[in-house]
Structure 1
Amino acid sequence: MDTTQVLISEFIGTAVLMAFGSGTNASVLLKNTLAKAFNPNWMTIMFGWAFGVAFAVYIGIALGGPAHLNPALTVALAAGGMFPWEHVIPVSLAQIAGAFVGSALVMIHYYPHFKQTKEDEGNVVGIFATAPTSDNRLLNVISEIIATFMFALAILCLGKMGDGLFPFIVGVLVAAIGLSFGSTTGFALNPARDFGPRLAYTILPVPNRGATNWAYAWVPVIGPIIGASAAVGLFLAIAPK
């Protein structure tokens, strides 16, 4: 495994994931975008994220990495003996950095619309990070555990990451998870896609920035790691050898 190539692929792949995903959110939530004229809704966001994940995985694979794009998967696969532990920290940092950069690109692209949109009009951290619809941290963590468990278990059952339509199917899977389990916490599934963008929204000069809600930020980190690890454990226990 070429460690440098893995880090590059995870960085760029996660940046692409967040650029497409948060770009969709910004298009839907900010004022005076063209999407507003077409009454965008939850399905718009699901398709945007699904396609974004699919293309990000294609890119991650093409650039020579495992295309985890997600510290929860990286940690869980290492715990299951399917990924080297010594790569977990550098790969996770590359994923977080990529998510930060992808979010920064969205902020640049939509900068005029951030200037036109106040917090009560849609300029919120939810463009980039997740937030619960009902703020109960225990239940929020459980929601993230369940959603990520289903996500990771399905991925493990799909076969090798680079085979055929795998990346496209992963995109479809993201939409399925979002439609079924996403309405409680926004289905982070991925510590990098929440922490990196939340940090970007906090420290970059975003006009009319809303609250960043760091008190909630541990939920989309801990929940996905537990959920993905549980899925790997179950898969190893019951899958045919």
Structure 2
Amino acid sequence: MNAFLFEFIGTAMLILIGNGVVANLVLKNTKGSDLGWVGISIAWGIAVFCGVFVSADASGAHLNPAVTVGLATAGKFGWELVPGYILSQVLGAMMGNFLIWLTYKKQYDSTEDQGSILATFSTSPAIRNPFWNFMSEVIGTFTLVFGIFFIASGSVGEEAISLGSLDALPVALLVIGIGFGLGGATGYAINPARDFGPRLMHALLPIKNKGTNDWGYAWVPILGPLTGGALAAFVYCLIGI
């Protein structure tokens, strides 16, 4: 239960800081409207650093179903713990965005653009094409999970691996790099909980002018990252043979 609790806390911190900077950028009447893509990418790296640092010693700091599934696929994490981890991550992501809504309540009230409001919760593609959007999420998440395998373990032959607090900075830098290099096509969810939990919260909260939840796209940032994480595990195991 302690591990589940810290997956919840770490993911909530991840979303609170990461989507918080998006809200600061796109909502009306904030003081951060000039942050831009560089600011978003760096902020998500800081968000990952904080979430991992807080939760690493208690849960291994997955904070991402794609990481959890990738580790389990590679035999580095027990499948019996996967449902509890994923549920904790989704609930933590929902809590993180709920706190963002509380923080920017008056800005949400004054924002009329439905796309901007949704962007503070979930991702959307720059050019909507389901196949290529899916591929972008697969590649971005493969890069994340494959990098985490080596950051966390230091060697292919480790029996069980998990992120420690000292791994927080290199993982954060990896996420910043993915944002700069691979994030422009879809907004780089690379984490099903990061997209699904906040999208569900968007549906539940009484937000003025919020419009559609775009559930028709929601499968992409769920299945793409899960596929990328599993592929990273297969390649990691292949290298280790």
- Range into which the TM-score falls when normalised by the shorter chain: over 0.9
Amino acid at match of 1:172: L
Unmatched 5+ residue regions in structure 2?
A: 154-162
Partner of residue 10, structure 1? 7
Asked whether the 8 Å contact 2:179–2:188 carries over to 1, the reply is: yes
Taking the TM superposition and a 5 Å limit, the aligned residue runs for 1:1-241 are 4-36=1-33, 39-62=34-57, 64-119=58-113, 123-160=116-153, 161-162=163-164, 164=166, 166-239=167-240
Deviation, structure 1 residue 163: 5.7
CA distance in 1, matches of 2:170, 2:20: 21
Deviation, structure 1 residue 77: 1.1
Deviation, structure 1 residue 72: 1.0
Asked whether the 8 Å contact 2:27–2:116 carries over to 1, the reply is: yes
Deviation, structure 1 residue 5: 0.7
CA distance in 2, matches of 1:15, 1:233: 29
CA distance in 2, matches of 1:97, 1:71: 12
Deviation, structure 1 residue 17: 0.4
CA distance in 2, matches of 1:190, 1:129: 11
Amino acid at match of 1:28: L
Q: 1:233 to 1:87 in 2, by over 3 A?
A: same
Asked whether the 8 Å contact 1:104–1:200 carries over to 2, the reply is: yes
Amino acid at match of 1:152: V
Asked whether the 8 Å contact 2:49–2:172 carries over to 1, the reply is: yes
Q: 1:130 to 1:189 in 2, by over 3 A?
A: same
Deviation, structure 1 residue 157: 1.3
Deviation, structure 1 residue 207: 2.1
Asked whether the 8 Å contact 1:70–1:190 carries over to 2, the reply is: yes
Q: Among all aligned residue pairs of Structure 1 and Structure 2, give the percentage whose two residues are the same amino acid.
A: 38
Asked whether the 8 Å contact 2:54–2:165 carries over to 1, the reply is: no
Deviation, structure 1 residue 162: 1.0
TM-score, length-scaled by structure 1: 0.93
Amino acid at match of 1:194: D
Unmatched 5+ residue regions in structure 1?
A: none
How many corresponding residue pairs? 232
Amino acid at match of 1:237: L
CA distance in 2, matches of 1:227, 1:54: 21
Deviation, structure 1 residue 159: 2.9
